Amino acid sequence: MREFIEREWRDHLALMEVLPPLFEEMEALAEAMGRVLGRGGKVLAFGNGGSAASAQHFASELVGRLVKGDVLHYPALALTTDAFLLTALANDFGYEGVFSRQVEVLGRPGDMALGITTSGSSPNVLKALEVARDKGLVTAALTGGDGLRMGVDLEIRVPSSSTPRVQEAHDFILHTVAAAVKMRVEGEG
Give the structural domain span for 21: 2-185
CATH number at residue 120: 3.40.50.10490
Looking at residue 73, its pLDDT comes to 83
DSSP conformation letters of 18-59: T-GGGHHHHHHHHHHHHHHHHTT--EEEEESTHHHHHHHHHH
Q: What backbone torsions phi and psi does residue 151 show, to the nearest 5 degrees?
A: -90, 140
| Domain count along the chain | 1
- Residue 17 CB neighbours (<10 A): 8
**pLDDT tens for residues 31-80?**
999 999 999 999 999 999 999 999 999 999 999 877 666 666 889 999 99
Q: How far is CA 66 from CA 10, 74, 79, 171, in A?
A: 28, 11, 20, 13
Looking at residue 188, its pLDDT comes to 46
Looking at residue 166, its pLDDT comes to 96
Nearest by Cα to 171 from 57, 95, 67, 66: 57
SS3 content of the chain, % helix, strand, coil (to 5): 55, 15, 30
**pLDDT tens for residues 105-137?**
999 999 999 999 999 999 999 999 999 999 999
**pLDDT tens for residues 135-157?**
999 999 999 999 888 899 999 99
